[in-house]
């Protein structure tokens, strides 16, 4: 079938082919003349810079009407523009004096764009690729839209998360992260800057923008749905129990991840030159890119580059690999031998931050040569990366004896590194795997008949060569390295920062900031008794197999914000704080669970199996082995909730 307009929309290649189809539409821009064209599928934007709006409009008109412009493209491709979707925005923060007030200003009037008989009236904002772009690039309209999206998404989530019969807390949390956060903070690295505290040395401070507080209300609503807590529960308790980061730290986590993607772009990527230029932090006119790089102190000059495509889909590795199913089988294979030489490798990381790699060449059962290298700090490198470096060192050692042997086996104790030697996909440290294959090709040129195999060799099981490699790797992690001239060319200068290591380091610092902030809370001491590792995911793990009703009750009792008279009186919902059965005692959580004599019979019925020493309120509310007895006690008292439906049916059958 002949297609005279566009491309076949039913073809799975349409998205890729459309990039070629409208490529000339974007090529009309001349960057040297302050012109820019951006496009994605059928959305195209032309940008022109000028000293005045009229000058910029004249450039836009020329971009459309020139011989290779948009109008000519539409004729040659039989693809007409939908002019009802045209939009014109004049980007400038320059304002005009307000005649009604000498100290006030008003927005400068933007002229319309005349293209033949078509007149495009300027607008103050327009959505482009999901972002509401406004004429002053302050993103106020998009911020309001993001808040509305988040609020609407939480309201939809509320329908699934009723306190008595909603979905499990873990599923609620997963839905919040997957739907609400992704909608509300879409492209956050563009329209909301990283949140800085008033003093970066302090664990807590006021965010620079009050808009973050509005977004935090959306997360508070979601945290109430996740935990089932009462609306009076404070934010720090909600976030700690729901295992959520405060919203400002969540924004930093998302924007840091986006920044890390930018600094690891390969040099051929169109954004790479702009990222390199943005490492300089100007005093004025800072872009979001400047803010991202300066806040997280990330640099494209020191970061590894992740190529989108490494190898052809038809590529196959000429390094054979063997990974035994069981550790016993792997040890048996090592003991069987079968090669002229063995090279054992290992990577190691110390708790205080050092990362190192080593390779030990063994011939006739004795160590012959050793290579080791200190990669750097743990915040910049990973053990996985060190394992790949160990394999590279092993191949480099093999080059020195390639003409003397007919077979060799590399003993590697990291299965992920072994699998990487067979993969064609890109990822952190993939450039080291590429260097391994280059070294292997050099070995093939020296000895075409030499077979090279990698075998999984379990660590710490008494294999002599592996133990030696482990010891040398630990020395390398402490800072020792072989002479530079003995190392492969790639390792003779510092390796770039590993993306996974930097990402983990940023996440660790964010979590540390969250923990320091929680320590300043007046509720931290009480929370610490229930969860010594707070903030953590322990509460979510504890209620993983419980219903939403169960988790809500546990949340009531753990926070003290429970439908008991003491708290209800505090929030003005009860006339008295006293227990209905003990007029002289306040009805607190402790009194209800442990002291109230009205519930002694029920208490004995469910707590007899609990050791006496363990019958304290901390264990009853935090020990997963005891929460069932606690919940059974609460349901049978009928004080907070009526019994479960299953219990009601059981008693009805017994009475009949």
Q: Structural domain boundaries of the chain? A: 14-134, 140-296, 320-492, 562-655
The residue ranges of the chain whose pLDDT is under 50 are 198, 200-208, 642-656
At residue 264, the pLDDT reads 96
Q: Cβ contacts of residue 533 below 8 Å, gap of 6+?
A: none
Strand boundaries in 265-330, DSSP class E: 320-322
pTM of this structure? 0.88
Strand 125-128 versus strand 341-349 pairing type: unpaired
Query: pLDDT value at position 650?
Result: 37
The CB-side HSE value for 388 (13 A sphere, CA atoms) comes to 25
pLDDT at 8: 58
- Residue 40 forms beta bridges with which residues? 43
Q: What is the pLDDT of residue 613?
A: 77
pLDDT of residue 344: 94
pLDDT at 278: 94
Cβ contact 348:356 at 8 Å: yes
CATH number given to 320-492: 3.30.420.10
Model confidence over 462-477: pLDDT tens digits?
Answer: 888 899 999 999 999 9
Q: What is the 3-state secondary structure (H, E, C) of 219-240?
A: HHHHHHHHHCCCCCCCHHHHHH
Return the closest-CA partner of residue 500 out of 380, 647, 343, 638. 380
The b-or-e profile of 64-94 (16+ CB within 10 A means b, else e) is beeeebbebbeeeeeeeeeeeeeebbbeeee
Of 211, 219, 205, whose CA–CA distance to 247 is shortest? Answer: 219
């Amino acid at each position: 079938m002949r297609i005279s307009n566009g491309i076949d929309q039913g073809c799975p290649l349409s998205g890729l082919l459309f990039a070629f189809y409208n490529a000339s539409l974007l090529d009309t821009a001349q960057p040297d003349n302050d012109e820019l064209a951006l496009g994605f599928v059928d959305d195209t934007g032309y940008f022109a810079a000028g000293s005045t709006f009229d000058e910029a409009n004249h450039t836009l008109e020329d971009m459309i009407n020139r011989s290779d412009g948009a109008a000519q493209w539409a004729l040659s491709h039989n693809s007409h523009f939908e002019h009802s979707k045209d939009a014109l925005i004049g980007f400038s923060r320059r304002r005009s004096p307000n005649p009604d007030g000498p100290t006030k200003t008003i927005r400068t009037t933007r002229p319309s764009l005349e293209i033949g008989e078509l007149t495009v009236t300027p607008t103050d904002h327009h959505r482009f690729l999901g972002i509401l772009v406004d004429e002053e690039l302050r993103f106020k309209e998009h911020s309001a839209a993001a808040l509305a999206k988040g609020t609407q998404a939480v309201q939809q989530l509320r329908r699934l998360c009723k306190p008595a019969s909603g979905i499990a807390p873990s599923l609620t949390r997963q839905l919040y992260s997957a739907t609400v956060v992704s909608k509300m903070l879409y492209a956050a690295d563009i329209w909301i800057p990283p949140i800085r505290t008033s003093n970066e040395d302090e664990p807590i401070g006021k965010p620079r923008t009050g808009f973050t507080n509005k977004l935090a209300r959306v997360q508070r609503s979601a945290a109430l749905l996740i935990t089932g807590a009462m609306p009076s529960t404070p934010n720090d308790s909600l976030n700690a129990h729901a295992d959520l980061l405060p919203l400002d730290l969540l924004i930093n986590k998302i924007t840091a991840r986006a920044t890390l993607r930018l600094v690891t772009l390969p040099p051929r990527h169109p954004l790479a030159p702009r990222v390199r230029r943005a490492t300089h932090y100007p005093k004025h006119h800072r872009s979001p890119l400047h803010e991202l790089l300066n806040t997280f102190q990330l640099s494209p000059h020191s970061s590894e580059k992740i190529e989108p495509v490494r190898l052809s889909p038809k590529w196959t590795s000429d390094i054979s690999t063997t990974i035994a199913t069981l550790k016993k089988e792997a040890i048996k294979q090592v003991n069987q031998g079968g090669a002229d030489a063995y090279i054992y490798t290992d990577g190691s990381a110390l708790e205080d931050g050092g990362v190192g790699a080593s390779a030990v060449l063994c011939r006739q059962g004795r160590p012959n040569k050793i290579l080791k290298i200190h990669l750097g700090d743990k915040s910049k490198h990973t053990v996985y990366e060190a394992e790949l470096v160990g394999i590279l060192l092993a191949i480099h050692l093999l080059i020195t004896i390639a003409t003397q042997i007919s077979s060799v086996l590399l003993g590697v104790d990291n299965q992920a590194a072994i699998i990487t030697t067979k993969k064609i996909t890109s990822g952190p440290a993939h450039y080291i795997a590429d260097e391994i294959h280059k070294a292997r090709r050099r070995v093939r040129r020296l000895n075409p008949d030499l077979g090279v195999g990698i075998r999984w060799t379990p660590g710490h099981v008494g294999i002599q060569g592996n133990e030696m490699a482990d010891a040398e790797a630990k020395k390398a992690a402490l800072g020792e390295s072989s002479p530079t001239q003995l190392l492969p060319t790639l390792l003779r200068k510092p390796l770039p920062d590993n993306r996974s290591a930097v990402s983990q380091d940023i996440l660790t610092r964010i979590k540390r900031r969250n923990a320091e902030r929680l320590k300043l809370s007046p509720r931290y001491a009480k929370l610490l008794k229930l969860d010594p590792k707070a903030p953590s995911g322990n509460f979510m793990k504890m209620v993983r197999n419980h219903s939403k009703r169960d988790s809500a009750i546990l949340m009531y009792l753990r926070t003290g914000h429970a439908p008991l008279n003491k708290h209800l009186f505090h929030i003005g919902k009860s006339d008295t704080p006293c227990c209905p059965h003990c007029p002289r005692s306040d009805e607190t959580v402790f009194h209800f669970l442990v002291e109230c004599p009205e519930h002694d019979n029920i208490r004995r019925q469910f707590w007899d199996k609990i050791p006496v020493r363990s019958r304290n309120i901390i264990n009853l509310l935090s020990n997963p082995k005891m929460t069932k007895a606690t919940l059974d006690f609460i349901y049978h008292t009928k004080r907070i909730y009526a019994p479960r439906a299953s219990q009601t049916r059981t008693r009805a059958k017994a009475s009949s």
